[in-house]
Amino acid sequence: MREPSARRVMSASVTSTDPELREAIRETVRDFVRRDVIPVASDLEHADAYPTDLIATMRDLGLFGITIPEEYGGLGLDLLTYVGVIEELCYGWMSLSGVLNTHLITAHLLVHHGTNDQKERWLPRLAAGEIRGCLSLSESDAGSDTRNISCRAERDGEEYVITGTKMWVTNGVQAGLVSLAARTDEGITAFMVEKEPGEERFGGIAVSRNIGKLGYKGLETVEMVYDGHRVGADCALGGPEGLGHGLGFILSALELGRVNIAARAVGVARAAFDASINYARERRTFGKPIADHQAIQIKLADMATKIEAARLLTLSAAEKKQAGERADVEAGMAKLFASETAFEVAVEAMRIHGGVGYTTELPVERYYRDTPLMLIGEGTNEIQRLVIARGLLRRLDEKS
- Any idea which residues carry the catalytic annotation? 378
| Closest by CA position to 268, among listed 93, 39, 108 | 93
Alpha-carbon distance 140 to 144, whole Å? 10
Neighbours of 278 (CB within 10 A): 11
One-letter identity of residue 67 = T
Alpha-carbon distance 199 to 202, whole Å? 7
Residue 333 contacts residue 342 (beta carbons within 8 Å): no
Q: Show Cβ contacts of residue 71 under 8 Å, excluding neighbours closer than 6 positions.
A: none
Q: Show Cβ contacts of residue 70 under 8 Å, excluding neighbours closer than 6 positions.
A: 14, 76
Q: Show Cβ contacts of residue 26 under 8 Å, excluding neighbours closer than 6 positions.
A: 81, 84, 85, 88
Residue 109 contacts residue 122 (beta carbons within 8 Å): no
